[in-house]
Amino acid sequence: MAQIKVVVGLGNPGSKYEDTRHNIGFDVIDRLALCQSGTKFARKFDAEIAEIELDFQRVMLVKPMTFMNLSGKSVGQIIQFYKIPLVDLVVICDDLSLPLGKLRIRGGGSAGGQNGLKDIARALGTDQFPRFRLGIGDRGIIDAADYVLAKFRPSERPAVDGGILTTMQAISVWVNQGIEPAMNRFNGPSDPLTTK
């Protein structure tokens, strides 16, 4: 059986959190699922899981249902059960420090204050796993906790949708070619993280 790739989108479960900035990882997963008609999510490993084929590769889409700060509980179970090498895992999350819709890809490293990434690193025993961070804009003077749980304004949707589309394209490159080509193509030549 061909090795499966695992794409995890972070967010919080429940209608209360739909379309909030913190749930942009869930939004990417939902858009990927829409690319293949008939894709259905099932509840397993404390997550909503679906399997799609992306460019002839098996890809498992994962939305942890544990709330953001406990995302590692779900991801750890999946990685252990399927014996997934960490190069075949990617985590998509929001990033407060990036401009709205801007994508930054890294092969591993610090959680940078993102509690979902922090908990996944704790569960896996390492922070050396690929992550796609999607900018949710500058919060200004708004409290960070309030800002990430706020919904996007209608005027922000074009930038958000553009960022989601770019992330989907980057996932396709990652699935086929790996993390380095995805970083080289989508981080941009001026991004200091391109080669790290």
Residue 159 falls in the annotated catalytic set: no
* Residue 61 per-residue DSSP state: E
182 Cβ neighbours under 8 A, 6+ residues apart? 105, 170, 171, 173, 174
For the residues of 4-60, what is the DSSP string, one character each?
PEEEEE----SGGGTTBGGGHHHHHHHHHHHTSTT---EEETTEEEEEEEETTEEEE
- Reduce the DSSP state of residue 142 to 3 states and report it: coil
φ, ψ of residue 60 in degrees (nearest 5): -95, 125
Handedness of CA 97, 98, 101, 103 (dihedral sign): negative
Helices 157-177 and 179-186, packing angle to 10 deg: 140
Tokens in use for 114?
Answer: 């993102």
22, 102, 106, 131: which is the annotated catalytic residue?
22
Residue type, 20: T
List residues with catalytic annotation. 22
